[in-house]
Every structure is written in structure tokens, then in C-alpha cells.
Amino acid sequence: MNLAVFASGTGTNFEAIVKATQNQQLKANVVLCVCDHPEALVIEKANALKIPVFSFKASDYPNKASYEQLILNACQLHQVSFIALAGYMRIIGPTLLQQYPHRIVNIHPSLLPKYKGKDALKQALAAGDLTLGATVHYVNDELDGGKIILQQSFRRSPNDCLETIEHKLHQIEHQLYIKALQQCLKEVI
Ligand code: GRF
């Protein structure tokens, strides 16, 4: 099973997925990293792990369909059969959704359906939530609205600073994403 991981930033989830494939926790190969920020740290991580990268700047293209067509070409070239979004900050359009129906998943830093969209953790903290969490879900045409695969919550202490909370969230995400991928890849095979 060939996976592509799409990311826009640091890429800690990307790295966790690649490591899980290397230690056989996940029976798949990450064959492509797609990134919409040519300066992002995830690209350095991909290079260090020898994973091919397709990077682009959306502003260089007239519309989503035109850059998604190039992403699709790269996915087809690398025989990608499943896509994991890991901090990819763009909405997936019909070009990719139609080619990968029920084969694109995302990790979102909230207990969906709470706090869809951007800055989910900040939204939860602003609401005063003490129970936080992450969700892995299928991607469809509704933002953060596809079928939920797995969720995990944790309690924060009222004294925790943002950095501590983000650290806990990331640790949870890295394990949750692998579990969720194990589950959905079984369904694909
Ligand atoms: C994660 O918190 C994920 O839930 C969100 O974006 C963040 C990406 O972090 N969608 P990283 O780049 O994997 O470190």
C-alpha cells in the first residue's frame, strides 16, 4: 500500500507515519510528501528520510484544480493508493476527491464535531475546555465533516501553558494517527 502524506508545516505527524512504516507497525510505504510551502520544515524531514517531495505554491496557479492536477500526476507517478493529510492547510477539491474516494484521511486537533476549521485548539482553549483531543476522519467535501475513524481525548490542567498542551496533543496525535491508519488500510486491502 503506497501512501502520500500531505503537510504544510513542521511535519511531526508525517515523521511519525514514516517511522511507523519503517518499523512495520504500519504495513505501508510512504512514497510521497506533498507540501504547499516550499520552505516548510517537513521538506527537510522528507529529504532526510529519503521520501520524494512534490512542493508547490498555490499562488503560482490560477485555481485549485490546476495545482491539484499536478498533485494528482505526482500521486499517480508514485502509484499512491491512499492519502493522509497531516497538517495540510488547504481544502481538498474535487480533482483529488474524485480520484481517491474514501481514501483520504485527515487528523484534526479537536474532538470533532467541535471546533472545525482553523485554530481548533485555540478555539477549544478560548471556550475554557479542560478536555481536549484529536480526531482522525475521512475527508469529504465538507470541511472537517467526514466520517470519524478514531478520536482520543486528554485532560489538561488549568495551569498548563500552551506549549505543554501542544506537546501533549502531538504525542496523542502521533499514536492515534497510526492506529487509525492501521484500521482504514485494512479496509482498503
Ligand atoms: C497537527 O496538530 C494536526 O492536528 C493539524 O496540524 C498539526 C500538524 O502538526 N491538522 P505537524 O506538522 O504534524 O507537527
Partnered with residue 131 across adjacent β-strands are: 155
| Ligand 1 pocket residue status of 105, Cβ below 6 Å | no
Mean pLDDT (whole number) for 45-56: 98
Angle, in degrees to the nearest 10, between helices 12-22 and 162-188: 40
pLDDT tens-digit map of 75-120: 999 999 999 999 999 999 999 999 999 999 999 999 999 999 999 9
The residues annotated as belonging to the active site are: 108
| Nearest CA, atom 14, ligand 1 | 12
By most ligand atoms within 8 Å of CB, the mutation choice from 107, 149, 153, 163 for ligand 1 is 107
| Ligand 1 pocket residue status of 21, Cβ below 6 Å | no
Q: Is the peptide bond before 113 cis (omega within 30 degrees of 0)?
A: yes
How much is the pLDDT for 189? 61
pLDDT tens-digit map of 13-30: 999 999 999 999 999 999
Give me the chain's average pLDDT, please.
97
d(CA 58, CA 77): 21
